[in-house]
Amino acid sequence: MPDATRGFVRSIDNGILEKEIDLEAILINTYHLFLNPGMEIIKKAGGAHKFMNWSRPLLSDSGGYQIFSLIHKNSRLGKITEDEVIFKSPTDGTKHILTPEKAIQIQFDLGVDMMVCLDDPSPNDYPKEKIAQAVSRTIRWANRCKKEYEKQIKVRKISEKNRPLIFGVIQGGQYLDLRKHCTQELVKIGFDGYGFGARHIDSKGNFMEEVVRETASFIPKNALRFALGVGTPEDIVKCFSYGWDMFDCVIPTREGRHGRLFLRKEKNVIASEAKQSRNISTNSFANIQDDKSFYETININNGKYKDDFSRVDEHCDCVLCKNHTKAYLHHLFASKEMLGMRLSAIHNLKFYADLLGALRNSVN
Ligand SMILES: [Zn+2]
């Protein structure tokens, strides 16, 4: 899922997202939409689907990550208590209060297909004692979220067939015992899916192999596993091989806007990479550690592309690769033309969509 944080995938319209890239779902952010345009407008529009004119599945994250990051960076911007989180809007300074119950109500008002509990995503480098407190709060809040969810289902008379799916978020930083405890407690409450909370990389930027792998194994087999905010193509392949099957990330679009493109090294190499990952048992993860062999990245701003009239990606059939050369794309970026950023974001999204399609096919 690309991050349509504020209700749009920057510069790319739904027609491209559906027909060209064939995305199955996109992610929106409760916190950002709550602040702007605000729930009154969204409700008036008839929900986020209608407001955005997006008919395929929508997943909203709770906004916890954004609010807690804000407060962890600057404690004057908010306060976390047992009952609620109080925060100031970074744009206009207005004060807002979010509770686990309110986070769920807002997501029902958004009318999404998948929603996420409000959690306490403390940074991975916090001392263990502080992470343990965050885990406890995450569990207590998950309980409140689930109760509110059941209440809203009744009040809004939503049938079992039409109810949105609800995800609990597993916290615990880099501590496997805390991740395990958090997962077990969330499973007792019972959710449709479970997310890997906070970051999947440690404070030094290293992929937390053991924690990410083992946490997936704690989740019941029939539940969805959502690796929030993952990641680079090789991290996605790795997480997939551990059992994670849903991902959201800003990388393809953000990198594209900066002129960094993901290129396939061979025609079917993504598919073969996926097949390989399926065959890797959870104990032999080292085989694909840091494996970037199936793709490369280029920065189209580099002067060497000025007169490179080759296709951007030999093995891609997106609008950029079908119609334009590297030299032309370089020229668009040199001219700071929005079209270049847009085409590159489309290409990167197609690369990611194809990667995920290949991973999906490998287990069908
Ligand atoms: Zn392309």
Give the CATH number of the domain where residue 237 resides. 3.20.20.105
Ligand 1 center to residue 261 CA distance, Å? 9
61 catalytic per annotation: yes
Global pTM?
Answer: 0.92
Please identify which of the residues 61, 109, 120, 235 carries the catalytic annotation: 61
Q: What is the pLDDT of residues 92-136, one digit of tens each?
A: 889 999 999 999 999 999 999 999 999 999 888 889 999 999 999
How many A from CA of 330 to the centre of ligand 1?
15
Whether residue 325 sits in one domain with residue 237: no
Confidence of residue 272 (pLDDT cuts 50, 70, 90): low
Q: How many CB atoms lie within 10 A of CB 147?
A: 14
Q: Tell me the C-alpha distance between 129 and 152, whole Å.
A: 34
Single out the catalytic residue among 109, 235, 248, 354: 248
235 and 269 part of one domain? no
Q: Are residues 84 and 180 in the same domain?
A: yes
Domain count of the fold of the chain: 2
CA distances from 308 to 185, 303, 319, 347, 351 (A): 56, 10, 18, 18, 21
Shared domain check, 16 and 163: yes
Both tokens of 186, joined, read 């969330």
Q: Quote the ligand 1 centre to 312 CA distance (angstroms).
A: 7
Task: State the amino acid at position 262 in one-letter form.
Answer: F
Both 266 and 243 in one domain: the answer is no
pLDDT band at 69 (very low <50, low <70, confident <90, very high): confident
Domain housing 176: 1-249
Measured in angstroms, how far is the CA atom of residue 357 from the centroid of ligand 1? 15
Domain stops at, among 199, 230, 249 = 249
Give 164's DSSP letter.
Answer: P
Kindly give the distance from the C-alpha atom of residue 188 to the centroid of ligand 1, in angstroms, as a whole number: 45
Beta strands at 295-299 and 260-264: parallel, antiparallel or unpaired: antiparallel
Both 156 and 98 in one domain: the answer is yes
74 pLDDT higher than 80: yes
For the CA atoms of 288, 290, 296, 299, the dihedral, rounded to the nearest 10 degrees, stands at 160
Q: In this predicted model, what pLDDT tens digit does every residue of 15-37 receive, in sequence order?
A: 999 999 999 999 999 999 999 99
CA of 346 to the centre of ligand 1 (A): 7
As a whole number of angstroms, the distance between CA 65 and CA 197 comes to 9
Pair 300, 160 in one domain: no
| Dist. CA 321 → ligand 1 center (Å) | 4
Burial class of residue 135 (count of CB atoms within 10 Å of its CB; 0-12, 13-18, 19+): buried
CA 201 to centroid of ligand 1, rounded, Å: 29
β partners of residue 304: none
Cis omega before residue 37 (within 30°)?
yes
Whether 294 and 316 map to the same domain: the answer is yes
Report the chain's mean pLDDT, rounded to a whole number.
91
Structure tokens at 292: 């970037």
How many CB atoms within 10 Å of residue 298?
A: 18
My answer on whether 273 and 216 are in the same domain is: no
Q: Tell how far the Cα of 64 is from the centroid of ligand 1, in angstroms.
A: 34
* Residue 188 pLDDT level (bands cut at 50, 70, 90): very high
Q: How far is CA 165 from CA 59, 112, 227, in A?
A: 9, 9, 16
315 CA → ligand 1 middle, Å: 8
Alpha-carbon torsion angle 355, 279, 236, 341, nearest 10: -20
Looking at per-residue pLDDT, the higher value among 271 and 318 belongs to: 318
Residue with tokens 């790795």: 238
Instruction: Say what the pLDDT of residue 290 is.
Output: 45
The two tokens of residue 342 are: 């847009």
Strand pairing partners for 85? 80, 98
Bridge partner residues of 226 (DSSP): 195, 246
CB contact at 8 A, 121 and 133: no
Strands, E assignment, 149-273: 165-170, 193-196, 224-227, 246-247, 260-264
State which amino acid sits at residue 273.
E
Q: Angle at Cα 102 formed by Cα 96 and Cα 106, nearest 5°?
A: 95
Domain co-membership, 266 together with 287: yes
Assess whether 94 and 243 both reside in one domain: yes
Q: What pLDDT shows up at residue 361?
A: 81
pLDDT beyond 70 at 312: yes
Range from 118-127, 260-269, 289-298 that averages highest in pLDDT: 118-127
184 CB contacts (<8 Å, ≥6 apart)?
218
CA atoms of 108 and 58, how far apart (whole Å) = 12
Boundary (domain end) residue, out of 249, 277, 303: 249
Same domain, 256 and 241: no
- Of 198, 218, 249, the residue that ends a domain is 249
